[in-house]
Amino acid sequence: MMEVTQFSQDAFDKRVGAYLEGSLSLKERSEFEAFVALNPQFKKKIEEKEFELEKLRQKIPTIVMSKNSREVLDSEIKESVFNLLRQTERSNLQKLKDFFEEKFSR
């Protein structure tokens, strides 16, 4: 188990993002919270980071699409992917054709 005293400014900086995202393991989260509880200056930094994250979230537009718009977009994406794959297959077939033409044209 990592001792609370092993945390440093660097360790805090490395883990604060993961902590706020919720991606620390339960053990890491407990250790981080214990460290922060013993170091009020880091608690203040977490509150500042949470405020910054909330401001960023507010700047991200919320897009509300109608069912019809979602279906059209979904269809267009599928068609684009299909066309890309088809072109890749055609390209591979063309390479194969070129290979055989080169080998047998001599």
Q: CA–CA separation, 32 vs 6, rounded Å?
A: 11
DSSP state of 6: G
pTM of the model: 0.48
Question: Residue 105 corresponds to which tokens in the numbers above?
Answer: 């044209």
For the chain, domain boundaries: 4-59, 63-106
Per-residue tens of pLDDT for the chain, all 106 residues:
444 445 577 878 888 889 998 999 999 999 888 888 888 888 888 999 999 999 998 999 888 889 999 999 999 999 988 888 776 666 778 888 888 888 887 6
Q: In one letter, which amino acid is 89?
A: E
SS3 track for 64-89: CCCHHHHHHHHHHHHHHHHHHHHHHH
> Is the distance from CB of 16 to CB of 3 less than 8 angstroms?
no
